[in-house]
């Protein structure tokens, strides 16, 4: 990192003796001034009623902490995520603006959708501070038609879940909150595939849903999972991220024989499988960059369970020219940030019924052959423990007619397109 010119340090000191300490981490005078202002405001707030000396000591301590690379959000204890001020604490990843932009864009598409179910169910895997379900709910609070939401955030980290619950409590909006929406947070290991692999501290999703009497079927699945490869951890993250943010939230675990890239992509096959099992009609997965976006989009295409896939950039709401990569539409401006997949009624909810599907054929499959996603026969029952096996058995054996029709329809469409 290049050293700072003495003239800049002198200029900073002339403005405020504390500024040069912040210049090291902020690198620019304006950024350092902003941070000093925020730290001072925070010190004012917590030192209220204490002596001037106590206030100065407190502020100097905060500036030193920040100068050591500690993220500002961990010092002042919050970060904005969309319009929400989310509580942050070391041990839990700080929410990022790009994640908020994708979630906000998705909610804006859905808020005005026709034909949403009476209760829209949203599953957020790897929830961290709980910022995604909280923002989703907030964005729906003034939707044109009232929609009942059921939101569930899942994370492996107990520290994250404790913070998510505090955020939920803190952000309850008494005049908006009524019985019509519910948010819960649960502990589970997204990577555990079955009942046999799980441990008490790391239940698999199915078991966690069952034990807590949550539904097995969800409409929207969102996830910002750990997605940085071991080499990317050293080359793409800042010293401050590596020094202070939890590695569990950033780098997926190593597994035997996996390459560096495979390790970075660890969560996506599992997330797409869960999406299929819980019959999600819309799936939004955050990624690191265009290369990873294309790997995830191609994986979703190969799995053949979605009718549409597109890639969103950091600002998906901003208009850009028509762009395609590997045949996938790319939406918005900035870096590639997420992959959106849909199927069944998800297409109509997103206003995408008329678009080409991922098979490259128009989605004018006869209605009778389109997937009819309905809610399950089995929800959580009185005794969720004993219902687990029963539920699973029924899940495996229940008529998968919708999927069969869906597959039949696909084959027809592809035969048709071959004939042409």
Ligand X SMILES: C[S@@+](CC[C@H](N)C(=O)[O-])C[C@H]1O[C@@H](n2cnc3c(N)ncnc32)[C@H](O)[C@@H]1O
What are the residues binding ligand X (CB under 6 A)? 93, 95, 99, 126-129, 131-132, 155-157, 160, 189-191, 224-226, 248-249
In whole angstroms, how close is the CB of 95 to ligand X at the nearest point?
Answer: 4
d(CA 153, CA 23): 38
In whole angstroms, how close is the CB of 207 to ligand X at the nearest point?
Answer: 13
**Nearest to 308, CA basis, from 266, 265, 271, 351:** 351
In whole angstroms, how close is the CB of 181 to ligand X at the nearest point?
Answer: 19
Indicate the residue among 43 and 249 with the shorter CB distance to ligand X. Answer: 249
**Nearest to 222, CA basis, from 295, 135, 330, 319:** 135
Indicate the residue among 12 and 75 with the shorter CB distance to ligand X. Answer: 75
In whole angstroms, how close is the CB of 374 to ligand X at the nearest point?
Answer: 28
Indicate the residue among 268 and 406 with the shorter CB distance to ligand X. Answer: 268
Indicate the residue among 33 and 212 with the shorter CB distance to ligand X. Answer: 212
Residue 148 corresponds to which tokens in the numbers above?
């009942």
> Between the CA atoms of 371, 283, 304 and 277, what dihedral angle is there, to the nearest 10 degrees?
-70
Indicate the residue among 211 and 375 with the shorter CB distance to ligand X. Answer: 211
Indicate the residue among 224 and 307 with the shorter CB distance to ligand X. Answer: 224
In whole angstroms, how close is the CB of 347 to ligand X at the nearest point?
Answer: 26
Reported as type and span, the H/E element at residue 81 is strand 78-81
In whole angstroms, how close is the CB of 153 to ligand X at the nearest point?
Answer: 8
Q: Is 272 exposed, middle or buried (0-12, 13-18, 19+ CB in 10 A)?
A: buried
Residue located via tokens 């590695």: 247
In whole angstroms, how close is the CB of 92 to ligand X at the nearest point?
Answer: 6
Indicate the residue among 120 and 248 with the shorter CB distance to ligand X. Answer: 248
Pairing of strands 78-81, 220-223: unpaired
Nearest residue relative to ligand X (C-beta): 128
d(CA 358, CA 307): 6
Please give the C-alpha separations between residue 224 and each of 40, 44, 63, 133, 335, in angstroms, as whole numbers: 33, 35, 31, 12, 15
Residues 6+ apart with CB under 8 A from 18: 36, 59, 60, 63
In whole angstroms, how close is the CB of 353 to ligand X at the nearest point?
Answer: 30
Indicate the residue among 170 and 324 with the shorter CB distance to ligand X. Answer: 170
Residue located via tokens 């469409």: 413
């Amino acid at each position: 990192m290049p050293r700072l010119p003495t003239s800049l340090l002198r200029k900073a000191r002339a403005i405020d003796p504390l500024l040069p300490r912040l210049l090291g981490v902020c690198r620019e005078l304006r950024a350092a001034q902003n941070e000093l202002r925020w730290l001072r405001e925070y010190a004012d707030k917590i030192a209220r009623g204490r002596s001037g000396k106590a206030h100065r000591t407190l502020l100097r301590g905060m500036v030193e902490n920040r100068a050591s690379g500690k993220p500002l959000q961990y010092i002042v204890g919050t970060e904005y995520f969309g319009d929400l001020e989310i509580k942050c604490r070391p041990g839990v990843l700080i929410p990022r603006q790009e994640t908020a932009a994708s979630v906000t864009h998705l909610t804006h598409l859905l808020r005005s959708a026709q034909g949403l179910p009476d209760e829209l169910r949203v599953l957020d895997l790897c929830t961290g501070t709980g910022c995604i379900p909280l923002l989703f709910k907030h964005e729906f609070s003034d939707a044109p038609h009232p929609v009942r939401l059921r939101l569930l955030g899942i994370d492996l980290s107990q520290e994250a879940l404790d913070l998510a619950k505090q955020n939920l409590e803190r952000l309850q909006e008494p005049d908006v909150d009524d019985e019509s929406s519910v948010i819960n947070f649960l502990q589970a290991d997204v990577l555990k595939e079955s009942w046999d692999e799980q441990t008490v501290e790391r239940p698999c999703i199915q078991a966690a849903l069952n034990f807590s009497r949550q539904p097995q079927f969800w409409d929207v699945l969102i996830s910002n999972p750990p997605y940085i490869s071991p080499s990317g951890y050293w080359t793409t993250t800042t010293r401050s991220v590596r020094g202070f943010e939890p590695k569990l939230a950033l780098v997926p675990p190593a597994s035997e024989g996996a390459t560096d890239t495979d390790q970075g992509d660890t969560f996506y096959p599992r997330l797409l499988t869960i999406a299929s099992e819980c019959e999600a009609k819309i799936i939004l997965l955050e990624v690191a960059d265009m290369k990873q976006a294309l790997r995830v989009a191609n994986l979703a295409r190969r799995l053949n369970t979605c009718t549409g896939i597109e890639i969103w950039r950091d600002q998906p709401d901003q208009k850009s020219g028509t762009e395609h990569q590997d045949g996938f539409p790319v939406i918005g401006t900035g870096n590639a940030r997420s992959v959106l997949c849909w199927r069944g009624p998800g297409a109509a909810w997103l206003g995408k019924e008329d678009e080409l599907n991922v098979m490259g054929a128009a989605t004018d499959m006869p209605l009778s052959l389109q997937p009819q996603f309905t809610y399950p026969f089995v929800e959580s029952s009185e005794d969720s423990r004993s219902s687990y096996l029963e539920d699973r058995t029924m899940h495996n054996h229940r008529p998968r007619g919708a999927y069969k029709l869906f597959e039949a329809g696909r084959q027809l469409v592809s035969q048709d397109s071959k004939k042409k």
